[in-house]
Structure 1
Amino acid sequence: MTQTVPVYNAATVREAERPLLEAGDPLMARAAAALAAIVQEFIDEIRSVALAAPPASVLVLAGSGDNGGDALFAASALQNARVDVLSTGAHIHAAGLGAAVAVGARTVDLPEVRDAAATYDLVLDGILGIGGSAGLRGIAREAVAALLPAVVTGHPRVIAVDLPSGVDPDTGEADEVVLPATVTVTFGALKAGLAGGRGPELAGDVVLADIGLSLDRAEAVGEASVDRVV
């Protein structure tokens, strides 16, 4: 059910996260669990069309930071899914990758993604989180460009992790190389970039996942609607 919530800039969200991270709170585990639940809904829908449907085909675009970790840990919890992982950064979240590989995920390279783009059912866009800014570079940009022609036809569908990668978290600015999401699962607070600029156009339905942030005393920059709060 649509709900109006406060909107915060990235610096405010990071400041709310900091004491929890310093205290060892499992923010990534909470985020990954919320993300996995939403992705599983899509997988169950895909497989409901046939009694003997094959596993859903899922591609994880995993950036170097916590956003990639969120996506990888979520992928490790999926049922009835065949998961491919493309690392889009200089390195990859080791624990998250280990968890995904332990349950059968395989790593792939960019040529494999290009060849298989239209065969994926779902893409988890975990390239950049609130530490990013408008515009992708390097292999991340190449991967998104390779997937875009298939994505704009509606197959695969995209689930953005926190916000669509390449969208500025504060302004919503973005260039043309961004995967438009069917759903964005955003963690802890609604980021300003999802409510302004091209954010609403690219985010699809927005699900706000409560991961335990305390923002009662933080300054919001406005209000906007989300489609679900979980």
Structure 2
Amino acid sequence: MIRGYSAQQMRDAEAPHLAAGEPLMQRAAAGLAAEVRGALPADGGRVLLLVGTGNNGADTLYAGAELAAGGADVAIVMTGPRAQEQALASALAAGARVVPLGETARAAAAADVVVDGILGTGTSANPALRGDARTVVEAVQGVTPRPFVVAVDIPSGINPDDGSVPDPLVLPADLTVTFGGYKAGLLLQPAAGLAGRVRVIDIGLGPDLDALRPTVTLPD
């Protein structure tokens, strides 16, 4: 069976590992970088990171650091007034660069892969895109042909618990790289139709999730 968990259940599963100082974010970022690398051409390719202000954006930046260190051309568009400082510093030190919000469409048109790291599971109350995040997604949506899109944990704008989409502006993913286990919303429509192929990265939460009752179960 495929088991889907709520955002709160995922946080509960993560809590003892975070308290013990386990590097969950680094595990997530390494898995994300590996999946993005698999979608890039052999010469390294070009990646555009759409980076939000929370942990989702930090995962994206750490993955971008690995990709840049491995030879990819990595550009960053910030969708909020700040980013996790250590993660941003890591990406910049590896050779990534920040491009202005107004250059999003040009950067997306040049990219082989766009990574949607704007919103994560912490926005389940109202995940609709707003402000600069909305502007950035509209710019990427307008690019033809559209680059390959990888969503980080969930596509920004969907509800991770029930799969609802409160606003039609969502950047559909070709691949969603989610961490620890399936978010319930990724298994439910309409969000499931926006997630593309879903790849679950093991970050060490298996026994914790096995002890919980999933909110969604589907046959394999």
TM-score, length-scaled by structure 1: 0.88
Unpaired segments ≥5 residues, structure 2: none
The correspondence for 2:190, drawn from 198, 218, 221, is 198
Please tell me whether the aligned partners of residues 160 and 185 of structure 2 are also in contact (alpha carbons under 8 angstroms): yes
1:219 — aligned with what? 213
User: What is the aligned-residue RMSD (CA, Å)?
Assistant: 1.5
CA drift at 1:154: 5.0
Quote the Cα distance in structure 2 between the aligned partners of 1:111 and 1:225. Answer: 44
Q: Equivalent residues in 2 for 1:65-214 (5 A)?
A: 65-78=54-67, 79-133=70-124, 134-150=127-143, 153-174=144-165, 175-213=167-205, 214=208
SS of corresponding position for 1:124 = strand
Quote the Cα distance in structure 2 between the aligned partners of 1:108 and 1:225. Answer: 43
- Identity rate, percent: 46
CA drift at 1:66: 0.7
The letter for the 2-side match of 1:81 is: A
Quote the Cα distance in structure 1 between the aligned partners of 2:116 and 2:162. Answer: 19
Deviations, residues 68-118 of structure 1 (Å, cap 9, x unaligned): 111110111112311111111231011111111011100111111133332
Please tell me whether the aligned partners of residues 140 and 146 of structure 2 are also in contact (alpha carbons under 8 angstroms): no
Please tell me whether the aligned partners of residues 136 and 165 of structure 1 are also in contact (alpha carbons under 8 angstroms): yes
The letter for the 2-side match of 1:217 is: A
The letter for the 2-side match of 1:37 is: A
- Structure 1 runs of 4+ aligned residues shifted over 4 Å read none
Unpaired segments ≥5 residues, structure 1: 48-52
The letter for the 2-side match of 1:158 is: V
TM-score, length-scaled by structure 2: 0.92
How many residue pairs get matched?
213
The letter for the 2-side match of 1:220 is: P
